């Protein structure tokens, strides 16, 4: 297997792992009961969204840095560098969406869209 394909497959494995883990964390809603003044048990949802969003953005940031490095790598042919540039742009758009959105469904949709774009670009 050529070295550039090996790098891409390693990057793609890391990417898929990050997206799958992030979506699982977004879906992992913890239901807790707490007491209010009237001593009634009330259910509320605990979303550690800032922690989850921070972890997703950090992971995507690492993958973005790798994609940019490959896009600037002069040893790769122009078509391959163009593919990495597109992937880096998709990741940057997704990071921007995650940073500016507090809606978990929108974040999950954005991650799914990024995954499909990467698969389309890779294929």
Least confident of 83-87, 93-97, 104-108: 104-108
3-state helix, strand, coil in the chain (%, to 5): 75, 10, 15
**Angle of helix 78-100 versus helix 104-122 axis, rounded to 10:** 180
Q: What percent of the chain has pLDDT over 70?
A: 79
Q: What percent of the chain has pLDDT over 90?
A: 29
Cα-based distances in Å from 116 to 72, 74, 87, 90: 23, 27, 11, 10
**DSSP helix/strand/coil, 47:** coil
Q: Provide Rg for the chain, Cα atoms.
A: 18
Query: Which among 40, 38, 57 is positioned nearest to 99, based on CA atoms?
Result: 57
pLDDT digits (tens, 9 = 90+) for 66-82: 999 999 999 989 999 99
Specify the higher pLDDT residue, 67 or 50.
Answer: 67
pLDDT digits (tens, 9 = 90+) for 87-104: 999 999 999 988 888 777
CA angle in degrees (0–180, nearest 5) for 13-82-78: 115
Q: How confident is the model at residue 47 (pLDDT cuts 50, 70, 90)?
A: low
List of residues 6+ apart from 112 with CB closer than 8 A: 19, 23
Averaged pLDDT for residues 3-20: 79
């Amino acid at each position: 297997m050529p070295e550039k394909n090996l790098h891409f497959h390693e990057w793609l494995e890391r990417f898929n792992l990050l997206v799958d883990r992030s979506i699982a964390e977004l879906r992992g809603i913890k239901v807790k009961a707490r007491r209010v003044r009237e001593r009634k048990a009330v259910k509320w949802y605990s979303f550690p969204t800032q922690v989850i969003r921070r972890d997703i953005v950090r992971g995507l940031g690492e993958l973005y840095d790798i994609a940019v490095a490959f896009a600037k790598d002069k040893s790769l042919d122009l078509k391959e560098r163009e593919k990495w540039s597109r992937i880096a742009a998709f990741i940057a758009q997704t990071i921007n969406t995650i940073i500016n959105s507090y809606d978990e469904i929108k974040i999950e949709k954005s991650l799914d869209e990024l995954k499909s774009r990467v698969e389309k670009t890779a294929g």
